[in-house]
Amino acid sequence: MNIVRSGAFLQQCWSVHPLCLAVKRLGDDRTVVLACSSCRSGHYLAIDRVVSKDPAGQRTATAGEDVSAEMLLGACIMTHRVSLTLCEMDVFQDVVTLRCSDCRRYYALHVSTFETHHKN
């Protein structure tokens, strides 16, 4: 298995086949795992901070309330994981934005480390 530590691989995967990316889980170590069924890669995002926005675009958690935004993300992953999609990515700012089509909430994930695990 090859491991690459760069957000560019997730960005390339998302730009080539965005419908094949799926959110798999939020680990206890604050890592969000995305899997791609097309290129058979696992993308691991170590999260520094999560900012949640409601359907009206209002922030529902400030910098001091990151735990509650992370709890909202965890609950969203547990209840309607298939409705979460990657909708925006900025590798220069290390931010990945997920959107839930069920609760219509946005989650801006501030990433400290990107890892792509590619199966040969």
Integer Cα distance of 111 and 120 in angstroms: 26
What is the span of the domain harbouring residue 25?
Answer: 2-118
Give CA angle at 88 (46, 68), nearest 5°. 50
pLDDT of residue 58: 61
User: Total structural domains in the chain?
Assistant: 1
pLDDT tens column, 15-38: 999 999 999 999 889 999 999 999
Which residue stretches of the chain have pLDDT < 50?
Answer: 62-64
Q: Which two tokens stand for residue 1?
A: 């298995």
- Per-state percent for the chain, helix, strand, coil, to nearest 5: 30, 45, 25
